Structure 1
């Protein structure tokens, strides 16, 4: 699997395809049309590749950055940027992914624009609804993944315990052990 889905919320996992945003050299997980196709399949949005090309990739990255700008504004308590709102709404108005029932089950198919429309609609629901108050950014300094904190008491700190949570706890443990060894 090429992509990770720590949030359980596809638009926020899509935003996470640019890893470590604040680093001097963030890691781009959508560096080719093939990686965009893989994201749609691995996320479960589509059963097969959408046939992305370079233009589709540019459009997808622009939508991803618009969603991030809106999430960042919500996290910082700032007004959401009008340009990003317009971009998100433009995509949200697109055609949905095609669902078809067959004798053996169901299939999901569509173009890149249909996949992006589904992401945009879900992002609109998050940013424009009650879930916006649950938006958080991972507390691990190297991570910039955003997620919805649905934990009891809303005290979740990391995008995923198995990755960032374990790294932070292991580093804290090593620091305590190292500090205790000197004392």
Structure 2
């Protein structure tokens, strides 16, 4: 059962180092957030990391306002510091879980710290008066993200945090498929590349016997 109390759509459009726009379903809102940093390293054509997306408080404000279905206040420098600390802890935990390593206790502490603070509460439409804040704070949004992370790294999801099978792809996702058989960050991207390579390999495999027969003749 998800811990988050706000219905937030999961998944986002990303742009590859080659400039191709593609849809990435991380399986979790917390992982979506972690993808704004090192967890979003897709591999690059020039070998340099191109994953940082939160350069200033305005970047954080924009990202949160695009996703939360509530009115969100503007982020400050302190909010950006807190957001990056939480995001990077989630990213390190995701990478460790994807390769079967033990999660660092300090990262767990960070997630638990933010999860223990007031989050964005659920609301029921149709009322006659405003209950609680009309404008929510960035700290509340971070608490909601942290509570989703608590769910992501729960024992119920053991073995479902995975790194994409694509060559040179380091994207990590939560496999929410019923059979737990997801292999790719996206069928649009690495899944399609794998299909193309397999097709070429099959064609090459069929061509080899003909060449051998011709040589023998």
TM bucket by the smaller chain?
0.7 to 0.9
CA drift at 1:102 = 4.9
Distance, in Å, in 2 between the alignment partners of 1:69 and 1:136 is: 13
1:71-116 deviation per Cα after TM superposition (whole angstroms, max 9, x unaligned) = 2222232221111011111000111114444549x99852111111
1:35 aligns with 2:56: no
Task: Give the structure 1 partner of residue 163 of structure 2.
Answer: 137
Q: 2:119 aligns with which of 80, 96, 107?
A: 96
Map of 1:59 onto structure 2:
82
Aligned partner of 2:34 in structure 1 is 15
Inter-partner Cα distance in structure 2 for 1:26 and 1:90: 29
Q: 1:166 to 1:42 in 2, by over 3 A?
A: farther
Q: Which deviates more, 106-115 or 172-181?
A: 172-181
Task: Give 1:177 shift.
Answer: 6.1
Question: 1:142 Cα shift?
Answer: 3.8
TM-score, length basis structure 2: 0.68
C-alpha separation between the residues in 1 aligned to 2:75 and 2:207? 55
State how far apart, in whole Å, the 1-side matches of 2:101 and 2:54 are.
Answer: 28
- Which runs of no fewer than 5 residues in structure 1 stay unpaired? none
Instruction: Say how many residue pairs are matched.
Output: 179
Greater share of residues in helix? 1
> Which stretch shifts more, 141-150 or 115-124?
141-150
- In structure 2, what is the Cα distance between the partners aligned to 1:135 and 1:154? 10
Q: Which has the larger strand fraction? A: 1
Separation in structure 1 between the aligned mates of residue 54 and residue 139 of structure 2, nearest angstrom: 16
Say if 1:52 and 1:172 are closer, same or farther in 2 by CA, change over 3 A.
farther
Preserved contact between residue 28 and residue 152 of structure 2 (Cα < 8 Å): no
TM-score, length basis structure 1? 0.79
- 1:71 aligns to 2:83 (yes or no): no
